């Protein structure tokens, strides 16, 4: 069953008197439990596509079903709610709040969900244990390495038990060794915890961890293939 399904998605931007399609009739289905890389050069439409499936922007036309729900029918508040319930986000720049501890950063999505303080702390601690940061819970972001900050961001993305994790260039600010560590965590989330993971990347060695690679160019999907040479990870 598809957790993400888009049909004939078009996103048009206007610049002066001209307009162009950042997404040009894109149709794609992602099943539960898949780990998919979205690739393409700058301007190919991959980031625009991520914004659409992340319910951060609406298409000009076309349909998007998230976990069977037609997103196009939702208002602003409903979109915010489904983002919080169904999606976890990991960004290149970590997007942590600088003056709060690791565990407090992980608690944030649960505040919007109305979960009480005791339960928030328990879930945040459990999420940080999953990413191996149980000894860094009270550290501020500036007291952690880039890789540790990204792991806090991953913990925050999974704390609400959302079925889908969307990661936009999650290793873009990390060195090679740390990037490998972070990708190992994504593979573990996919295989052990059955999360559906979609990663936007321009790096072939990062995409190699994914089970499927979708390539964009000029707003269109030009390739959608199973990755036969997937990088192996020992969990």
- The pLDDT confidence band at residue 46, using thresholds 50, 70 and 90, is very high
2-97+142-226: CATH architecture: 3-Layer(aba) Sandwich (3.40)
Give the predicted TM-score (pTM) of the model: 0.92
Convert the pLDDT of each residue in 81-104 to its tens digit: 888 889 999 988 888 999 999 999
Instruction: Look at residues 205, 211, 203 and name the one whose alpha carbon lies nearest to residue 230.
Output: 211
- Tell me the C-alpha distance between 38 and 84, whole Å: 22
- pLDDT, tens digit, for every residue of 193-203? 999 999 999 99
């Amino acid at each position: 069953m598809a957790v993400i399904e888009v049909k004939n998605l078009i996103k048009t931007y206007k610049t002066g008197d001209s307009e162009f399609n950042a997404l040009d009739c894109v149709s794609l289905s992602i099943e539960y439990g898949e780990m998919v890389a979205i690739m393409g050069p700058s301007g190919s439409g991959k980031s625009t596509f991520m914004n659409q499936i992340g319910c951060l922007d609406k298409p000009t036309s076309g349909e998007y079903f998230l976990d069977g729900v037609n997103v196009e029918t939702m208002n602003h508040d409903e979109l915010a709610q489904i983002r919080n319930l169904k999606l976890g986000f990991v960004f290149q720049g970590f997007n942590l709040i600088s003056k709060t501890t690791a565990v407090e950063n992980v608690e944030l999505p649960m505040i919007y969900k109305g979960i009480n303080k005791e339960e928030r702390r328990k879930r945040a601690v459990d999420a940080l244990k999953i990413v191996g940061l149980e000894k860094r819970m009270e550290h501020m972001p500036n007291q952690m390495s880039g890789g540790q900050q990204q792991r806090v961001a991953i913990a925050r993305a999974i704390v609400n038990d959302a079925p889908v994790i969307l990661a936009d260039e999650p290793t873009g600010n990390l060195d090679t060794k740390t990037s490998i560590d972070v990708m190992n965590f994504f593979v573990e989330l996919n295989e052990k915890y059955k999360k559906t993971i979609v990663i936007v990347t321009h790096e072939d060695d990062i995409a190699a961890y994914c089970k499927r690679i979708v390539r964009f160019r000029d707003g269109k999907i030009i390739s959608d293939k199973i990755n036969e040479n997937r990088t192996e990870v020992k969990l």
